[in-house]
Amino acid sequence: MTENPWYRERWPWILMSGPAIVVVAGVLTAVIAVRSFDGLVVDDYYKQGLGVNRVTEREANARSLGISALVQPNEERTRVRVVVGGETPPLAGLRLTLTHPTLPGEDQSIALTQSAPGIYEGALRPPPRTILRVRLEDTASSWRLAGLWRTKDASLRLAPH
């Protein structure tokens, strides 16, 4: 009976395959961790937690004023119709913010200017086909409307919660 060298036997390769798979998986995990940044943890989390009360006040102010909005994007511009208690408000300007849940590079914040009574417009990049967080607020930061927009839908109605 002749003995084969160790590398010609099956069992050493079977026994070495487990640790080799773990090493490859560890390297892949490290590459993914280095290339992607989730950006979910912030340094000033305490200050942001305190800011929740301010946001709640702004949403309550929008509710008391009876503000609602209809966001209608098209290829070139975004139109926002704002209604205050059944009337169109004379607002100096609005800010529309679209936030992607996981990709900060897809976030957009645009200034809206009045084009007609109660109608505000601004330039918007075409958003990705996903669900975005939408926030509409006046430039004085006295009220705020927020909601979720499925970009496959043609428009989004914002009303205070």
Is 115 a member of any domain? yes
Residues in a beta bridge with 72: 79
Q: What are phi and psi of 59, to 5 degrees?
A: -70, -35
Helix (H, G, I), strand (E, B) or coil at 32: helix
Q: Please check whether residues 75 and 24 belong to one and the same domain.
A: no
Is 119 a member of any domain? yes
Is 143 a member of any domain? yes
Q: Please check whether residues 27 and 93 belong to one and the same domain.
A: no
Q: Where are the alpha helices (DSSP H) in the chain?
A: 10-35, 45-65
Residues 85-112 as b/e (b if ≥16 CB within 10 A, e otherwise) read eeeeeebeebbbbbebeeeeeeebebeb
Q: Please check whether residues 151 and 73 belong to one and the same domain.
A: yes
Is 60 a member of any domain? no
Is 97 a member of any domain? yes
Give me the number of domains the chain comprises. Answer: 2
User: Mean pLDDT by 10-residue block, N- to C-terminus, for the chain (161 residues)?
Assistant: 84 95 97 79 68 74 83 75 64 84 85 82 81 88 87 82 73
Q: Is the dihedral of CA 33, 39, 43, 45 positive or negative?
A: negative
For residue 133, what is the domain's CATH number? Answer: 2.60.40.10
Is 111 a member of any domain? yes
Q: Please check whether residues 12 and 81 belong to one and the same domain.
A: no
Is 54 a member of any domain? no
Q: Please check whether residues 23 and 85 belong to one and the same domain.
A: no
Q: Please check whether residues 25 and 88 belong to one and the same domain.
A: no
Q: Please check whether residues 78 and 27 belong to one and the same domain.
A: no
Residue 152 is given by DSSP the state: T
Is 123 a member of any domain? yes
Predicted local distance difference test score (pLDDT) of residue 31: 94
Domain span at residue 105 reads 66-158
Q: Please check whether residues 86 and 130 belong to one and the same domain.
A: yes
Q: Please check whether residues 153 and 89 belong to one and the same domain.
A: yes
